[in-house]
Chain A
Amino acid sequence: MNVASMLAAIILISLVLYSLLGGADFGAGFWDLMCFGKRRESQRELIAQAIHPVWEANHIWLILIVVLLFAGFSAVFSTFCLALAIPVYLMLLGIVLRGSSYVFRAYFTGSVHTQLYWGTVFSISSSLTPIILGIIIGAISGDPVIAHEGTSQNGFLATWLYPFPLAVGLLSLSLFGYLSACYLTVEAKEAALKDDFRNRALISGAVSVVAAVVTYILAGVSAQGIRLGLLNSPWARLTEVGAAISAIVAFRALWKRNFRVAQFAAAIQVTLILFGWGVSQYPYLIRPDLTISNSASPAPVISGLLIAIAVGALVLIPSLAALFRVFKADRKAISTGEFTPLF
């Protein structure tokens, strides 16, 4: 494996982590939109508490993906920023509105009406952003050339506004919603609340299976390349089988209210789906013309980046472990009131 492929693999892993963590936060925002019934307020409360301390850190996986992409594969970054400018702008709008409305809602202590308004902005932008993220993934996997020699080939709409990317968009939203619902079954304390999210996980899981099938069929029209990859590459087949097994495990565990198992299996399932996409996309970054080797920065630059990533990971991994240990493991609260002299 050459250095450029290693960097591409690291970007794919970052994308997986962004989906498992940041994606689930977007999914939680989608469920915020879908809260109903007599436990509506406690559902919203649970969602807010679950994402509160971690969403900011989870979001940064995306920034990491962007900087690694433009350092290692600058041609890819500038090509998709040009030809997919409109969905990228829409995604940015979604990210800005989601993040800011979330803090505005959390810190707004005035009228309930205004707070609800921020909540609506938060949940709508959380639901639209994953769709657009999926559309971008779909557009770079499709057959049409999106840009050539610094100019967009098919205008600025036709590069992404066709059935295949839209189907990938729906698939992403349903997967993020499914992941998030699985996580929330574990986060919830009361049994009734756990069941609310169990039902949502089962429904969104089923929707994601349908969306996956539709995506696969549409790929036959406008994404032949990646469809062939999914069919023929032995690694892709392995991930497909793995994803199917983990989906069955997750569904069974949800059905039996074995929520920890369901959470874990759902995360594995989404990971394998993304790896399957990555393996079938290989060696392309943007189909049909930009590959890892023809768009990579010179090897010494990429080796330097890999060293920087290794050093960064030495700091990042223990920090992330600390964050999740503090907020996601069951811990006894310590009172700030107890003043203990430091020195």
Chain B
Amino acid sequence: MQNLIMARSQMGTSLAFHIIFATIGVSLPLMMTIAEWRWRCTGDPTYLLLAKSWAKGTTILFAVGAVSGTVLSFELGLLWPRFMQYAGAVIGMPFSLEGFAFFTEAIFLGIYLYGWNRVKGWFHLLSGVIVAISGVLSAVFVTIANGWMNTPTGFDVVAGRIENIHPLIAMRNPAGIPEAVHMVLAAYTAAGFATAGIHAWLLLRRGRNRFDEVAIGIALSVGCFAVLLQGASGDALARMVAEKQPMKLASLEGQFKTESGAPLRIGGLPFPDERVTKYAIELPDGLSLLAFHRPNALIKGLDQEPRSVWPNVRAVHICFQIMVGCGSLLSLFAFGAAWLAWRRGPLTLHTGFLKALILVSPLGFVALEAGWMVTELGRQPWIIYHLLRTRDAVTSMPNVSITFGIMTALYVVLGIIVVWLVSRHVIAAPDTKQVERAEALV
């Protein structure tokens, strides 16, 4: 039992750490490529400076993401050897494809970062595009594998063993693509808003300058587009969960009773012992409408299954509320920004807007982390939904608490150094003088 909790904690810590860097590896290349493309179209050196500055950030963060990803790929076996033995053959395909996508990303990132003076302009820009595309593809493949853990398909269970495996059908599992789209949009949202927020803060600190203005322009456009699409993607994902994992939906929503015309709860705290969710604002028929697009649709509650197979309903519900809350706030902010830009001209002229942007900028990452908590905690006690329990997959090696302690300490130290490095050498540079005379740097 102790080992199980430690193994889950270690996996969770590794994922929570890695996802930040993976997200940046997916989205920053898009933004730096847009900046370079603007430079090649307009000849405005500010864009070139921006592309180089973002590329520098990408290098540091991508390197940490690559090594923490290596750790994760081994931890699948180190912590969950029975899961790998059971499922490796079925979900190996998306992992292998991810290996190739990631490989391509690393190769072209190398060319992009160090090849400014070595390759022709069009090839350099193309490298950026390839990095951005292959980053998205690796995210998609890995998330498809996670989708399979939620909605396993593509095999038969014969006498307790997995037989008749069809890797391609396993990859087309119902949760895979909706989750992958949600993840990629989340990556763009999180990194877009965070980057825009950092540049808003810099803009306020060093006064009006074109460098930060164009940076906010690109990053905020990416973030706003993504968060508005995220609404539709979230809806698709929720309807998939309602159909394929009704118990997960029930714990997301704190729905204990099976009922038709179930309400949508905003906020609230589930009390699993009393089987009720209290203090929520309830919108009548809201959940039925959202999940099945019918006001009186039947929503299965947690009462359909014994308590022993419930996830931690309270944690899942709270994380879900955090994710949806952050997403909704950012969507409102995106609408507000669009309206302000339309009615009042350039956004970066409004100090109030910049301050608000700084305030909301971390919410994308908060939503991303909360969303993964929802996916992972909501699937418990199963590692493969309705097939293999997490406790049956854990390693037989004793003292997982030691490795958990070491890996956590390592990640804490790495995290502190990365934050410090990025703030000193990517965010702080270029200084005001360089920003004003960007041509001199080219």
With a cutoff of 8 Å between Cβ atoms, the chain A residues found around residue B100 in the complex are 64, 308, 311-312, 315-316
With a cutoff of 8 Å between Cβ atoms, the chain B residues found around residue A95 in the complex are 67, 70-71
Contact B118 A327 (CB under 8 A): yes
Contact B396 A152 (CB under 8 A): yes
- Is residue B69 contacting chain A, with contact meaning CB distance below 8 A? yes
With a cutoff of 8 Å between Cβ atoms, the chain A residues found around residue B339 in the complex are none
With a cutoff of 8 Å between Cβ atoms, the chain B residues found around residue A301 in the complex are 89-90, 92-93, 165, 167
Among listed B73-81, B235-243, B295-303, B379-387, interface-contacting one: B73-81
The size class of the interface chain B forms with chain A is 35 or more
Contact A56 B165 (CB under 8 A): no
Contact B99 A56 (CB under 8 A): no
Rounded to whole Å, the gap between the CB of A7 and the closest CB of chain B is 10
- Is residue A103 contacting chain B, with contact meaning CB distance below 8 A? yes
Rounded to whole Å, the gap between the CB of A130 and the closest CB of chain B is 15
- Is residue A336 contacting chain B, with contact meaning CB distance below 8 A? yes
Contact A342 B125 (CB under 8 A): yes
Determine the residue in chain B with the shortest Cβ distance to A54. Answer: B110
Contact B78 A81 (CB under 8 A): yes
With a cutoff of 8 Å between Cβ atoms, the chain B residues found around residue A89 in the complex are 78, 403, 406
With a cutoff of 8 Å between Cβ atoms, the chain B residues found around residue A116 in the complex are none
A325 CA to B329 CA, complexed, in Å = 48
Q: Known contacts A53-B114, A150-B82, A319-B107; is A107 also within 8 Å of B56 by CB? A: yes
- Is residue B266 contacting chain A, with contact meaning CB distance below 8 A? no
Contact mask for chain A residues 27-44; partner B; CB cutoff 8 A; 1 contact, 0 none: 000000000000000000
- Kindly identify which residue among A85, A320, A322, A336 contacts B117, using a CB–CB cutoff of 8 Å: A336
Which residues of chain A in 72-91 are interfacial with respect to chain B, using CB atoms and an 8 Å cutoff?
72, 74-75, 77-82, 85, 88-89
Determine the residue in chain A with the shortest Cβ distance to B117. Answer: A333
- Kindly identify which residue among A67, A109, A322, A335 contacts B95, using a CB–CB cutoff of 8 Å: A67
With a cutoff of 8 Å between Cβ atoms, the chain A residues found around residue B82 in the complex are 78, 150
Contact mask for chain B residues 390-421; partner A; CB cutoff 8 A; 1 contact, 0 none: 00000111000001001000100010011001
With a cutoff of 8 Å between Cβ atoms, the chain B residues found around residue A340 in the complex are 121
Q: Known contacts A53-B113, A326-B111; is A341 also within 8 Å of B396 by CB? A: no
Rounded to whole Å, the gap between the CB of A118 and the closest CB of chain B is 9
Rounded to whole Å, the gap between the CB of B33 and the closest CB of chain A is 13
A305 CA to B99 CA, complexed, in Å = 12
- Is residue A93 contacting chain B, with contact meaning CB distance below 8 A? yes
Which residues of chain A in 164-193 are interfacial with respect to chain B, using CB atoms and an 8 Å cutoff?
none
Contact B64 A81 (CB under 8 A): no
Determine the residue in chain B with the shortest Cβ distance to A332. Answer: B118
With a cutoff of 8 Å between Cβ atoms, the chain B residues found around residue A1 in the complex are none
Which residues of chain A in 255-307 are interfacial with respect to chain B, using CB atoms and an 8 Å cutoff?
297-298, 300-301, 304-305
Contact B104 A315 (CB under 8 A): yes
- Is residue B442 contacting chain A, with contact meaning CB distance below 8 A? yes
Among listed B40-48, B202-210, B216-224, B252-260, interface-contacting one: B40-48
Contact mask for chain A residues 206-224; partner B; CB cutoff 8 A; 1 contact, 0 none: 0000000000000000000
With a cutoff of 8 Å between Cβ atoms, the chain A residues found around residue B117 in the complex are 333-336
A207 CA to B152 CA, complexed, in Å = 52
The secondary structure that dominates the A interface is: helix
With a cutoff of 8 Å between Cβ atoms, the chain A residues found around residue B76 in the complex are 70
Which residues of chain B in 160-210 are interfacial with respect to chain A, using CB atoms and an 8 Å cutoff?
163, 165-168
Q: Known contacts A52-B114, A297-B89; is A99 also within 8 Å of B78 by CB? A: no
Contact A60 B103 (CB under 8 A): yes
Rounded to whole Å, the gap between the CB of B259 and the closest CB of chain A is 43
Q: Known contacts A63-B102, A68-B99, A319-B104; is A103 also within 8 Å of B77 by CB? A: no
- Is residue B84 contacting chain A, with contact meaning CB distance below 8 A? yes
Contact A107 B421 (CB under 8 A): yes
Contact A71 B92 (CB under 8 A): yes
- Is residue B279 contacting chain A, with contact meaning CB distance below 8 A? no
- Is residue B425 contacting chain A, with contact meaning CB distance below 8 A? yes
Rounded to whole Å, the gap between the CB of B257 and the closest CB of chain A is 41
- Is residue B120 contacting chain A, with contact meaning CB distance below 8 A? yes
With a cutoff of 8 Å between Cβ atoms, the chain B residues found around residue A100 in the complex are 63-64, 67, 414, 417-418
| Residue from B62, B68, B77, B130 with most neighbouring chain A CB atoms (10 Å) | B77
- Is residue B108 contacting chain A, with contact meaning CB distance below 8 A? yes
- Is residue A235 contacting chain B, with contact meaning CB distance below 8 A? no
Contact B70 A59 (CB under 8 A): yes
- Is residue B115 contacting chain A, with contact meaning CB distance below 8 A? yes
Contact B81 A78 (CB under 8 A): yes
Determine the residue in chain A with the shortest Cβ distance to B109. Answer: A56
Contact mask for chain A residues 41-59; partner B; CB cutoff 8 A; 1 contact, 0 none: 0000000000011101101
With a cutoff of 8 Å between Cβ atoms, the chain A residues found around residue B120 in the complex are 334
Determine the residue in chain B with the shortest Cβ distance to A106. Answer: B59
With a cutoff of 8 Å between Cβ atoms, the chain B residues found around residue A333 in the complex are 117-118
Rounded to whole Å, the gap between the CB of B441 and the closest CB of chain A is 10
- Is residue A231 contacting chain B, with contact meaning CB distance below 8 A? no
- Kindly identify which residue among B84, B110, B165, B417 contacts A78, using a CB–CB cutoff of 8 Å: B84
Contact B410 A96 (CB under 8 A): yes
Contact B111 A322 (CB under 8 A): yes
A320 CA to B84 CA, complexed, in Å = 30
- Is residue B60 contacting chain A, with contact meaning CB distance below 8 A? yes
With a cutoff of 8 Å between Cβ atoms, the chain A residues found around residue B37 in the complex are 342
Contact A85 B397 (CB under 8 A): yes
Determine the residue in chain A with the shortest Cβ distance to B62. Answer: A56
Contact B40 A341 (CB under 8 A): yes
| Residue from B60, B66, B92 with most neighbouring chain A CB atoms (10 Å) | B92
Contact B77 A81 (CB under 8 A): yes
A77 CA to B92 CA, complexed, in Å = 12
Which residues of chain A in 97-128 are interfacial with respect to chain B, using CB atoms and an 8 Å cutoff?
98-100, 102-104, 107-110
A312 CA to B414 CA, complexed, in Å = 32
- Is residue B342 contacting chain A, with contact meaning CB distance below 8 A? no
With a cutoff of 8 Å between Cβ atoms, the chain B residues found around residue A64 in the complex are 96, 99-100, 103
Rounded to whole Å, the gap between the CB of B6 and the closest CB of chain A is 13
Contact B168 A304 (CB under 8 A): yes
With a cutoff of 8 Å between Cβ atoms, the chain A residues found around residue B167 in the complex are 301, 304-305
- Kindly identify which residue among B43, B96, B125 contacts A68, using a CB–CB cutoff of 8 Å: B96
With a cutoff of 8 Å between Cβ atoms, the chain B residues found around residue A78 in the complex are 77, 81-82, 84-85, 88
- Is residue B356 contacting chain A, with contact meaning CB distance below 8 A? no
With a cutoff of 8 Å between Cβ atoms, the chain A residues found around residue B425 in the complex are 107-109
- Kindly identify which residue among B40, B69, B77, B116 contacts A77, using a CB–CB cutoff of 8 Å: B77
- Is residue A9 contacting chain B, with contact meaning CB distance below 8 A? no
Rounded to whole Å, the gap between the CB of A137 and the closest CB of chain B is 16
The contact sample of 22 A-B pairs, CB cut-off 8 A, is A59-B70, A63-B103, A64-B100, A66-B74, A71-B92, A74-B84, A81-B77, A81-B78, A92-B74, A93-B406, A93-B410, A96-B71, A99-B67, A100-B63, A100-B418, A151-B396, A301-B90, A308-B100, A312-B103, A319-B104, A326-B118, A340-B121
Closest 8 CB pairs of A and B: A71-B92, A74-B88, A81-B77, A312-B100, A297-B89, A78-B81, A53-B114, A342-B40
Further 7 A-B residue pairs, CB within 8 A, beyond A59-B66, A67-B73, A323-B111: A64-B96, A99-B64, A150-B85, A326-B115, A326-B118, A334-B117, A336-B442
